[in-house]
């Protein structure tokens, strides 16, 4: 005879939280790759002097590993929410676990990546910019957890208020991924250092803003699509793989810009883009999300 379940026992659903654990693991190994790259450079430099180009070549390999791991975190973060909603397994534990994983994968890892790969020549200013990004990301996640406890509004259209931190991390990782493959060493980055520094500050502000962004929560295994949409999706996937250094920047930039142009897009087109039949003609009470 099985013992009755304690009503106060924390519900931990296996598959959604497994995806969150994989998200956290990717974030951890991304940070580890950044540190490992520096240790490897110091080890090789101890055996023989390194030229600037050799130094950057060794570091770049580990930067690319870290970037791919951040992309992996984005994928697992997408899957954990989908699996939880698909099985009706949303839980307070899953929400808290997801936020803790996100601050490592999408806060600490991108901040470390950009400060080491691009902003390092700026010295303490570069570290300060990375810290601002990390703090804003943590505050955004904490604010969402507080608002999630409030009763849902009737006009909840499942949009994010402010740029979600996975998209901010994806934009940073994709742009860094492009730059480390375009330039042979960090001395050639030139003005890009300052552009990325400004971009990181801008992303920090967007995460704390009230600009609505689509969540695409309505997209699941039951979502209906046309043949044209399937063809476009297949072509987009092929182009992304073929031009893997450029397309991630295009995709994340498109999402980032969409939040600014969204108010000027017709209601009908917005419903089609966001795959959200419940979208109402108001953004007054959009719930916040991580």
User: What is the reported pLDDT for 225?
Assistant: 61
User: What is the reported pLDDT for 285?
Assistant: 41
Phi and psi at residue 125, to the nearest 5°: -65, -40
Q: What is the mean pLDDT of each run of 10 residues along the chain (290 residues)?
A: 56 84 96 86 64 65 91 91 71 86 94 84 86 94 78 62 91 88 64 86 92 75 66 86 88 91 82 66 44
User: What is the reported pLDDT for 286?
Assistant: 43
CB burial string 193-217: b at 16+ within 10 A, e below: beebbebbeebbebbeeebbbbbbb
Answer yes or no: are the C-beta atoms of 207 and 137 closer than 8 Å: yes
For the chain, which residues make up each domain, given as ranges? 14-274
User: Rounded to whole angstroms, how far apart are CA atoms 92 and 217?
Assistant: 18
Answer yes or no: are the C-beta atoms of 94 and 84 closer than 8 Å: yes
């Amino acid at each position: 005879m099985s013992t009755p379940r304690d009503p106060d026992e924390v519900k931990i659903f296996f598959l959604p939280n497994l995806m969150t654990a994989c998200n956290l693991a990717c974030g951890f190994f991304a940070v580890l790759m950044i540190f490992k790259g520096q240790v490897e450079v110091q080890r090789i430099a101890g055996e023989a002097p390194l030229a600037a180009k050799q130094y950057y070549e060794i570091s770049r390999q580990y930067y690319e590993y870290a970037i791919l791991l951040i992309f992996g975190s984005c994928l697992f973060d997408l899957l954990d929410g989908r699996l939880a909603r698909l099985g009706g397994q949303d839980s307070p534990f899953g929400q808290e676990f997801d936020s803790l994983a996100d601050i490592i994968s999408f806060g600490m890892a991108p901040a470390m990546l950009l400060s080491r790969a691009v902003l390092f020549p700026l010295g303490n200013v570069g570290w300060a910019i990375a810290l601002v990004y990390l703090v804003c990301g943590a505050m955004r996640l904490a604010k969402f957890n507080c608002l999630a406890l409030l009763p849902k509004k009737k006009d909840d259209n499942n949009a994010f208020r402010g740029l979600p931190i996975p998209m901010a991390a994806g934009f940073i990782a994709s742009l860094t991924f492009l730059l480390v493959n375009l330039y042979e060493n960090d001395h050639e980055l030139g003005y890009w250092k300052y552009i990325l520094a400004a971009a990181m500050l801008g992303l920090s502000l967007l995460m704390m803003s009230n600009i609505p962004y689509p969540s695409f929560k309505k997209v699941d295994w039951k979502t209906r699509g046309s043949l044209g949409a399937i063809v476009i999706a297949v072509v987009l996937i092929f182009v992304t793989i073929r031009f893997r250094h450029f397309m991630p920047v295009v995709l994340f930039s498109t999402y980032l810009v969409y939040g600014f142009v969204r108010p000027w897009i017709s209601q009908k087109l917005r419903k089609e883009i966001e795959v959200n039949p419940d979208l109402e003609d108001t953004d007054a009470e959009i719930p916040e999300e991580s």
